[in-house]
Amino acid sequence: MERDGIDLKTAAEYLGIGMTKVRELEKQPDFPSYTVGRKILVSFDQLKAWQQRQIDLYKDEKNSLITGRKGDH
């Protein structure tokens, strides 16, 4: 069982987004959330890794628009 769970409000604050957006993200299969009873939690360690993947995807996308080719990642 994961012990680094944070609630959605804390996840939203960490990401700098609102509760509506974090609730949308929570429904995505690649977002690191899980439930304990009725409470939705987010693995903080996995959230940081998820955020880095989003940044990397954005950089690759931006690079491909500039150069006309996909990144080497």
Q: What are phi and psi of 22, to 5 degrees?
A: -65, -30
At 26-56, the pLDDT tens digits run 999 999 999 999 999 999 999 999 999 999 9
Q: How far apart are CA 9 and CA 65, in angstroms?
A: 34
- The answer to whether the beta carbons of residues 42 and 32 sit under 8 Å apart is yes
pLDDT of the residue at 2: 43
pLDDT digits (tens, 9 = 90+) for 48-72: 999 999 999 988 777 776 777 655 5
